[in-house]
Amino acid sequence: MYNTDIPTRAELPTSAQLIRSTLIAAGIAAALLVTVVLPAEYGIDPTGAGRALGLVQMGEIKAQLAEEAEADRLRDQARQAPAASAPEQRSSLFGRLFVQLVIGPAVAQPAAAAKSQEFSVSLKPGEGAEVKMDMRKGAKATYSWTVEGGAVNHDTHGEGAGGEVSYKKGRGVAGDEGSIVAAFDGKHGWFWRNRGSAPVTVKVTASGEFGSLTRAK
């Protein structure tokens, strides 16, 4: 049985050769990090090579998705936060019952008369805006909206004394139509964000029982 000969000391790489190989490997790794990994994963392109290779757009999309996922997480966390403060909830519940049973009959307000209104809002790349309707609980409004010049991400939702509710969400949408039945007294409508590279204009038409259709501050 033959075993491989052990290399002699002269055949082994010298310390200088090992150091040179290590430096070459480190240089290649650094070049790949700057030209490939950073543009493709984070949209960072210090050399311009990533854009030439078409990797920057991939990184920007990943960063955008991560940002939107974090925004959704924070929105959901904010909606769940009031559930942790039970004493405040009980106090608010008693207050609403008092208003409904004692004050409500004396100052009851009629439901908003049916109406129709149009509204438009222009969004720069990366810009977001909210357009809301004042609605009483149980009121219904039908709507349709379209995007001129591109598509938007949207969240059709409501907020007010009764909390927050999301009716519908979408990404990269050029238009939508449907109806909203107010889950509680408050403001109900849409949040749009332009994730494209060019300005867009969103035009919305609403008909039904609401007080006003305005852009939220």
pLDDT for position 35: 77
pLDDT for position 127: 95
pLDDT for position 75: 76
pTM of the model: 0.51
Which class would CATH give 111-215?
mainly beta
If you average pLDDT over residues 158-172, what whole number do you get?
Answer: 90
If you average pLDDT over residues 91-119, what whole number do you get?
Answer: 57
**pLDDT tens column, 60-101:** 676 777 777 777 777 777 766 544 444 444 445 555 554 454
What is the secondary structure of the chain as a DSSP string? --PPPPPPGGGSPPHHHHHHHHHHHHHHHHHHIIIIIHHHHH---SSSHHHHTT-HHHHHHHHHHHHHHHHHHHHHHHHHGGGG-HHHHHHHHHHHHHIIIIITTTSPPPPPPEEEEEEEEEE-TT-EEEEEEEE-TT-EEEEEEEEESS-EEEEEEEEETTEEEEEEEEEEESEEEEEEE-SSSEEEEEEEE--SSS-EEEEEEEEEE-S-EEE--
Domain residue spans of the chain: 15-70, 111-215
The confidence band for 33, taking pLDDT boundaries of 50, 70 and 90, is confident
Residue 164 has pLDDT above 50, yes or no: yes
pLDDT for position 209: 94
